Chains A and B, each alone.
Chain A
Amino acid sequence: MMMNGYDNPAWEKVKLARHPKRPTAVSLIKRLFPDFLELHGDRQFGDDPAIIGGLATFAGRAITVIAQEKGTTTDEKIHRNFGMPHPEGYRKAIRLMRQAEKFHRPVVCIIDTPGAYPGIGAEERSQAQAIAWNLREMMRLQIPVVIVVLGEGGSGGALGIGVGDTVAMFENSIYSILSPEGFAAILFKDAVQAPQAAALMKLTPEDLYGFGVIDAIIPEGPGIHIDAEPGFAAAGEFIARSLATLCDRPIAKLLNDRYRKFRHMGDFYEMQEHQGEAHETKD
């Protein structure tokens, strides 16, 4: 089964999501939030260049922006660790989100990461705890949170800034439990079979929309690697529309809706639905 090129749309999306000419978060921020003012540091260990955060005004409101940044030039990519955050990145993100909550600013998170960085320092400072903490805290932030997946939504590293009231993906982005290469290495014992893995993984915006994991797909026109403007403008419209709706919502309802949204994710059988099934308890 050779599935490359046009007979494998999932792999096409993977390639577009990682396209060298695909604009990164700083471009999107520059376009949508021209008065963006960056704020640094987690107040505990350091400042992670893979996650940027700061203030901006958007559609007449002050907002807090959090974004994973991969970098464009080689030097930038190295500086940004290819968009793979360390724990201090997640801790900076939640610090700025708490700050946003204090000053009643909505939060916009832009996701673009291959994954949280798997390294010695990251483990020493507990990457797992940093991500887990954000999942719990973001669930209860008393302000609207809008999530946009710009390029790669890489596993827990993406989800660590990915809990919100509405979640949208760019048309040519992906969001998955691990990279197609990692998936292929486990499933086929061969990372080279990533295209085949991508076809099985259900990682396209259409797949995720079908599962109810995301709420909207942002159209890109020709693709933002060719012309960023149509996709960026559409993203701006999506964020503006979401904030207009969410900011009017009473906090209790906002939080309840956010809980329900994630609470219902998953798919399984429960035998109780079938009459007459034997129940047995083992101990």
Chain B
Amino acid sequence: MPDSLNERKEKLAKFRKTILNKEETSCPVNIPDGLFVQCEKCQNVVYQRVLDANDGVCPQCGFHFKINAAKRLTLTVDPGSFIERDIDLESKNPLGMPEYEKKLAIGKEASGMKDAFRSGTAIIGGHPVAIGVLDSTFMMGSMGSVVGEKVTRLIELATDKKLPLVIFSASGGARMQEGILSLMQMAKTAAALALFHEAGLLYISVLTNPTTGGVAASFASLGDINIAEKSSLIGFAGPRVIKQTIRQELPDGFQTDQFQLKHGAVDLIVERKAMRTTLIRLLGFHEGRCQ
């Protein structure tokens, strides 16, 4: 439950008690958790069902809420066309890091996934593609061995089948619980993209909220076309780390989608509602080839 909603409820109760001198005797409106959410941009409280029907976009201000991988796939691919691959990969605890298994279990519970990445083949507006989606509900979409391996296999599949590649990123970066092995997934995914690139195939990277750290500094930044979804935080270092390092306030709009467009890191900013049609257009431009 968002804080301000609780605050309002408390204020109302206080108001009744003190001003109206009346206890809340009649059955109070008991709002179940998850029915409403608060928009982090305009602070307005949004009815969850309205938000869902609006593809996770705030009807008041247009802020794009995070959406999970399943929802992303539904919004992106032709109905029923997604064939998932590599579903049997699960994380180990190679460093024996305390609490890691617990965090994995929480991630599985929260997302219904075995790890933070779903991948496979699909059709988008009639175009066959290899597609992958990071899901930030699973341990912040962080990249450990499983995510790195699945991304790499997807790229290798696309290279092998000569398919265009579309990856939606949403990640806090490399997964620190797997230490150096997570770091090396950056090199591994970039290696697969090197071969994909040499094969002359199209990679569209969609950076969504948030895309930072080791994911931003590897496959997410290497698209032939880099798209920032509206309302996304994109960068290498997190704002908190930068603030601690430079000991000054960060400028307004730092590391936003607009910031990345202005500084030339992305080709375009696309709203969620226009994402599928934009992808179809881009895929269309790459169909015919000059001999």
Contacts and interface: CB of A to CB of B under 8 A. Distances in A.
B98 A139 contact: no
B246 A119 contact: yes
A104 B214 CA distance: 31
Given A133-B221, A272-B88, A267 B242 contact: no
A183 B152 CA distance: 26
B67 to A, nearest CB: 15
Interface string B203-243: 00000000011101111111000000000001111000110
Contact of A132 (B90, B95, B190, B263): B190
B90 A271 contact: yes
Contacts of A125: 263
B190 A127 contact: no
B70 A118 contact: no
B237 A262 contact: no
Contact of B263 (A124, A277, A283): A124
Given A135-B190, A263-B188, A283-B70, A122 B89 contact: no
B193 to A, nearest CB: 6
A128 B234 CA distance: 9
Contact of B145 (A127, A268, A282): A268
Contact of A127 (B92, B237, B245): B237
Nearest to A178: B176
B236 A265 contact: no
A263 B152 contact: yes
Given A119-B242, A128-B221, A259-B195, A200 B91 contact: no
B174 A177 contact: yes
Interface string B187-199: 1101111110110
Interface string B89-101: 1111011111000
19 contacts: A118-B242, A126-B221, A133-B222, A135-B218, A136-B197, A136-B222, A139-B194, A140-B198, A159-B183, A177-B180, A178-B176, A213-B184, A262-B184, A265-B184, A265-B187, A267-B181, A269-B89, A271-B90, A281-B84
Given A126-B221, A271-B89, 9 more contacts: A118-B245, A128-B212, A136-B191, A140-B194, A159-B187, A163-B187, A200-B98, A277-B88, A282-B70
